[in-house]
Amino acid sequence: MEPIIIIVAVVVLLSVLYYSFVKKERQAGPNKESSWPAHQPPQKLGIFAGHMAYDAALRLEESIPAGYEERIKERMQQQDTTLTDREWQWRWHELKRFLLMGALLRRVNMYSAQVDEVWHEMLMFTREYQEFCERFCGRMIHHAPHSSAVETAGKLQEPGAERAWFDWVYGELFGPDNPGSRLWGAMYRTPMSPALLELLGQDDEEPARKELFNSGLGDQSPELVQAREGLLRRAREQLHEVEELASRGERRYARGSDETVTWSLLGGTLMLASVTAPDQLQSSMEEVMGPQQRQQQSTSSCGAGTTGAQERDSYDVDSSQDSGHSGGGDSGGDGGGSSCSGGGCGSS
């Protein structure tokens, strides 16, 4: 019996060693690395010169304190040894895009657990985070638990309304050729609600400005005001465009060589489908997406693990808040308090 026992023990030991090796290879090997784009994230958040938000993107980059990114990256790689430099670059890139949206919009839901994790680590360095926010937009961009109830206007509470607005703004800011869905989950799957379209289409633009954007902040920089007003103007102009197309029976958003039309192809298609055939949104989007974009949409929920409220609590940014939730304790080092407002943020 002893030889059999020895053979069984050897087989078990070899199996344990083999699967431990395979697990380690899967975590740190090329598969994890190759799931991220091979090219570097674009400069200026991918926004072209002359775009309404170009100057705001420059302001954001210039507002980041020296060495801040490196300290956050080092802390995260100490906690997760499988975090590669390439993955870090894209997660950091998308967080900066999110913070730009957070400075411009009244509410921005956090749909990515991976981007949110970077944000949490950013908040741990409270002094640097406060310095960044004050340089960039003149006040704190607060991290707060998401509230599904919107009390101010009472019109944008339909399911998916904020996701559709997120997708539209993201596309208008950063263009059609971006890997955003790799981290944000499948995009352009939710039509704009009738309430949102009605708000954007009112003759008086002030209600939309107050409900959707950070407006009326006297200390906002000219760069952010330009970006905010540009987004509002583009949303209203595009709605008029798609309403005219719909009145002629058109079901495809205008294509052309004009840079604005090309840049707005996904957002325009989203808005047109929302007006004419919300139940056919997915097929409308697939018609205008390239093969790479369609592949990202189909694999994003698996690769990113970021389905917003389905996977974890979602969060929003309300940089119009003046309440002092900037944390306490550490004023610039590891392990300090976070700038989360409210409870349950998950920072430690």
Q: What is the DSSP string of 239-281?
A: HHHHHHHHHTT--S----S-HHHHHTHHHHHHHHHHHH-GGGH
Closest CA relative to residue 322, chosen from 151, 174, 142, 67? 142
Position 116 confidence tier, pLDDT thresholds 50, 70, 90: very high
How many angstroms separate the CA atoms of 259 and 116, rounded?
A: 32
Amino acid at 153: A
pLDDT for the residue numbered 238: 94
Residue 3 to residues 6, 9, 14, 16, 46, Cα–Cα distance (Å) = 5, 10, 16, 20, 65
Helix (H) or strand (E) holding 188: none
User: What pLDDT score does 75 carry?
Assistant: 97
pTM attached to this predicted model: 0.76
Q: Is 43 buried (19+), middle (13-18) or exposed (0-12) by CB count in 10 A? A: exposed
Percentage of residues in the chain having pLDDT higher than 70: 65
| 20-36: average pLDDT | 51
The pLDDT value given to residue 182 = 83
Mean pLDDT within 113-126? 94
CB atoms within 10 A of CB 182: 21
Residue given tokens 């018609």 in the structure block: 287
Mean pLDDT of the chain: 76
At 185-242, the pLDDT tens digits run 889 999 999 999 999 999 999 999 999 998 765 567 999 999 999 999 999 999 999 9
pLDDT band at 258 (very low <50, low <70, confident <90, very high): low
Query: For 290-345, what is each residue's pLDDT tens digit?
Result: 655 655 555 554 334 333 333 333 334 444 443 333 333 344 444 443 333 332 33
Please give the DSSP secondary-structure letter assigned to residue 81.
T
Report residue 261's pLDDT band, with 50, 70 and 90 as the boundaries: low
- Give the strands of the sheet with 315-317, arranged side by side: 108-110, 315-317, 143-145
- Residue-wise pLDDT tens digits, 154-194: 444 455 778 999 999 999 999 877 667 789 988 999 999 99
Predicted local confidence at residue 87, as pLDDT: 95
Tokens standing for residue 63: 């507002």
pLDDT confidence of residue 19: 41
Q: Which two tokens stand for residue 89?
A: 């670059």
